[in-house]
Amino acid sequence: MRRRLLTLAAAAATAAGAAVVASGLLSPAHDDPADVMAACMPEELAIYQSTEFNVQQCLDDALTDTVNEQGVMDALGWLAIALDRNPNLEIFCHRAGHVAGLQADINRDQLSDMLADSRMQVCDWTLLHGYAEAYAATGPSDDDLSVLLDVCDAQRGHQASTCAETLGHVLWEERPDLDNAPVYCAELSADKHRQWCGYGILMQKWRPVTGPLDAEPGYDPDRLPAICEDWPVPGYGGQAGCGAGAAYAALEDSGRAIGQLKARIESGEDLPDNWLESLNEPFSDGIDLCVRLRDDIARFHCLDSLANDVARAARGSRAIYQTWCELLPDEPAIDCNDQPYWEGQRPV
């Protein structure tokens, strides 16, 4: 089970932002862009109204402007402060960071430094991912990729997993075929790193964060079992990575159904007594996608990652999460009671 947990995004953002401020990276000569970002989501605006009021576009533009004017690290600090002032921005900030990171001045040395910098954790490492995608577009050589592999191998704990996942994003953007990109993951020294590298590749393949908001998913569920069976990274790390990446596809219908249901709740709509039953079909479809994987390791990690991702989408609703858990098969076993998201924690 994935056991590394962080407190809710606002608290994590505050700590990371404080670290950036304390490091002296924020220049006092600048105005306060955090107010501009925080204003994108007025406090009186309900989450279900966010599309109508273009919250996402507003935050994309505000963070991009800050990156262009002050650079990635200053923008990172201001984003953390904005999230502290307005935690409702949390569901919009990851895409915004990807979009803004694409506009930064790119070089390999700065990416290497960022991959090893725990301050990048703001909003699930979003500016790091966007910057990495932009770097991939420069056409890095094999030598460049080897340098990044060495950086990731030198990390420990969650920093290593994040580094390897980010490397997966780079690999798919730079070499977008499943016979080539995953081979680089095999060069990482630890199974866990190879797993997260594969996860990053398939995340980027299925649905890039910076793609159109209404884009169709880039996967064919019928091909997933064969993709994992033919995954070119051998051993536990290879199958675990493909399984976790498959979960990203399996979350598609479940995550959408949860979002729609929570929007109805927030809007004050009266729901029928059996409202949770509306989740049974999309939840079952996602679980079935994982169960169809033929390798035991891939199947387990698909369900394990899907458990984490559903919990995040449910945002602390124990009723929604337990509804999903009750549909799980007996094997591979996922201990739903070992997922304390309703207690104010979430996975990363």
* pLDDT higher at 128 or 45: 128
- Residue 34's pLDDT band, with cuts at 50, 70 and 90, is very high
State the helix-helix crossing angle for 318-325 and 280-291, rounded to 10 degrees: 50
| pLDDT tens sequence across 267-294 | 677 777 778 888 888 888 888 889 999 8
| The pLDDT of residue 152 | 94
Asked whether the beta carbons of 80 and 13 are under 8 A apart, the reply is: yes
Q: With beta carbons less than 8 A apart as the criterion, state whether 194 and 183 touch.
A: no
Specify the long-range contacts of residues 219-225, CB closer than 8 Å, at least 24 apart.
Answer: 219/249, 221/249, 221/289, 221/292, 224/249, 224/289, 224/292, 224/293, 225/292, 225/293, 225/294
Cβ contact 196:241 at 8 Å: yes
- Two structure tokens written together for 320: 């929604």
The pLDDT of residue 46 is above 80: no
**pLDDT value of residue 31:** 65
Element (H, E) at 34: helix 33-38
Residue pair 200/115 in contact (Cβ under 8 Å)? The answer is no
pLDDT of residue 155: 92
Task: Using the structure block, give the residue that is written with the tokens 């990044």.
Answer: 148
d(CA 192, CA 198): 10
Question: Does residue 237 surpass a pLDDT of 70?
Answer: yes
The string of DSSP letters for 200-226 reads HHHHHHH--TTS-TTPPPS--GGGHHH
pLDDT above 70 covers a percentage of the chain that reads 79
Task: Give pLDDT, residue 115.
Answer: 92
pLDDT at 12: 44
- Name the band, by pLDDT with cuts 50, 70 and 90, for residue 24: very low
Q: List, for residues 64-108, the tens digit of each pLDDT value.
A: 999 999 999 999 999 999 999 988 888 789 889 999 998 888 888
Confidence of residue 26 (pLDDT cuts 50, 70, 90): very low
pLDDT of 25 higher than 70 = no
Residues 144-187 pLDDT 10s = 999 999 999 999 988 999 999 999 999 999 888 899 899 999 99
Q: What is the mean pLDDT of residues 254-274?
A: 75
Domain boundaries, the chain: 6-138, 243-341
Residue 31 or residue 97, greater confidence = 97
Rounded to whole angstroms, the Cα distance separating 227 from 292 reads 12
The predicted-structure confidence for 182-235, as pLDDT tens digits, reads as follows: 999 999 999 999 999 999 999 888 877 776 555 455 667 778 889 999 999 989
User: Which amino acid is residue 105, in one-letter code?
Assistant: D
